[in-house]
């Protein structure tokens, strides 16, 4: 019986969560000691479901990524449904979503997404491969300089022609080295370093460097084409026109809400990725039928609901 598939599955689940002490007692494993959620079986009831956490939300299962049209004078219809394990990063889904939309001849001229679906490579690839402008905020820079209001890499002026960078205090870099990373996702980057003597006596050193050995500041930026694509997106998104245009993306939040309230997007009725995906496609199809009927009956799109408590502020 120990060789049965279901018994082996249960064994893997136990091994992920527990360990046996020298005297035979069973103990919980700490989070740091557990195997990676992306490769571990979390539940014996659904071996494809994965454990994930997003801020305060914790769940075991899958993610659904919905795409919809947002033309002003046309019905807002769901154009694509992508279902992935819960551990799949949003940024890993962008290319697949755009590829499917292209095959359906539904590639948008401007693709509104949130920060999780954008990086420098995707900004360039989206235009070159699908002739679609990826439009949304870039991801948050996790450096301590960004968190504490210091000099992060965006504060430096880059001179690509002369291969130099200028820091906020007017000092030029002394080292410029382009290379390709060897991480899980390889990318072309440039390593830039400033003279330690310039940084050591700088009056703004506390905003820029915490190197106790007295070394100069180092920054790492994407290659030129990627860097300039990021800069263009940041500039557009920071403008009033860009912020106003990006408001269109808020519609997808209403679609997700409708999928939860009218459908079953938040809870799968079935086991396995394929059946869960089929359920979500059926929900999306139902929403499209309702929206088409409302459009033909000239019913206006519902406005964002404001809670009674929030109305008191007005």
Percent of the chain with pLDDT over 90: 64
62 with 185, same domain?
no
Residue 290 falls inside a structural domain = yes
Same domain? 19 vs 65: no
pTM, two decimal places: 0.84
Per-residue pLDDT band at 185 (split at 50, 70, 90): low
User: What would the pLDDT profile of 70-89 be if each residue is shown by its tens digit?
Assistant: 988 889 999 999 999 999 99
Q: 214 and 149, same structural domain?
A: yes
312: in domain:
no
How far is 61 from 286, CA to CA, in rounded Å? 23
Rounded average pLDDT over 31-51: 90
Domain limits for position 65: 58-139+241-296
User: What CATH code is carried by the domain that includes residue 288?
Assistant: 3.30.420
CA dist 166 and 169 (Å) reads 8
- pLDDT at 218 (0 to 100): 93
Query: What is the total count of domains within the chain?
Result: 3
> Does residue 142 or residue 94 have the better pLDDT?
94
For residue 139, the SS3 value is coil
The answer to whether residue 56 scores a pLDDT higher than 70 is yes
Q: What percent of the chain has pLDDT over 70?
A: 98
pLDDT for the residue 184: 62
Query: Which band of pLDDT confidence, cut at 50, 70 and 90, is reported for residue 282?
Result: very high
Determine, yes or no, domain membership for 208.
Answer: yes
Q: How confident is the model at residue 180 (pLDDT cuts 50, 70, 90)?
A: confident
Least confident of 2-16, 114-128, 222-236, 299-313: 299-313
233 located within any domain: no
Question: Final residue of a domain: which of 170, 189, 223?
Answer: 223
303 in any annotated domain: no
* Final residue in a domain of this structure, among 197, 223, 249: 223
């Amino acid at each position: 019986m120990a060789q049965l598939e279901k018994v082996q599955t249960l064994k893997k689940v136990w091994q992920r969560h527990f360990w046996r002490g020298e005297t035979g007692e069973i103990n919980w494993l700490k989070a740091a000691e557990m195997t990676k959620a992306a490769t571990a079986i979390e539940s014996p009831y659904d071996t494809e479901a994965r454990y994930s956490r997003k801020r305060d939300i914790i769940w075991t299962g899958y993610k659904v990524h919905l795409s919809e049209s947002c033309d002003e004078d046309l019905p807002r219809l769901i154009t694509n449904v992508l279902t992935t394990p819960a551990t799949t990063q949003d940024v890993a889904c962008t290319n697949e979503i755009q590829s499917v939309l292209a095959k359906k001849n539904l590639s948008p001229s401007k693709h509104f997404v949130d920060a999780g679906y954008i990086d420098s490579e995707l900004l360039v690839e989206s235009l070159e491969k699908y002739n679609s402008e990826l439009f949304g905020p870039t991801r948050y820079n996790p450096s301590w300089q960004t968190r504490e209001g210091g000099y992060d890499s965006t504060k430096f002026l880059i001179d690509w022609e002369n291969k130099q960078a200028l820091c906020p205090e007017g000092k030029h870099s002394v080292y410029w080295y382009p290379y390709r990373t060897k991480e899980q996702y390889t990318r072309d980057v440039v390593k830039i370093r400033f003279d330690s003597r310039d940084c050591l006596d700088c009056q703004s050193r506390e905003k820029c460097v915490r190197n106790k050995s007295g070394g100069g500041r180092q920054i790492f930026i994407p290659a030129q084409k990627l860097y300039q694509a990021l800069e263009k997106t940041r500039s557009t998104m920071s403008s009033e026109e860009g912020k106003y245009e990006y408001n269109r993306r808020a519609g997808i939040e209403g679609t997700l809400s409708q999928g939860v309230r009218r459908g079953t997007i938040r809870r799968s009725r079935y086991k396995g990725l394929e059946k869960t995906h089929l359920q979500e496609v059926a929900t999306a199809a139902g929403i499209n039928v309702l929206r088409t009927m409302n459009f033909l009956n000239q019913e206006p799109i519902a406005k964002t609901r404001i809670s009674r408590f929030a109305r008191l502020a007005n």
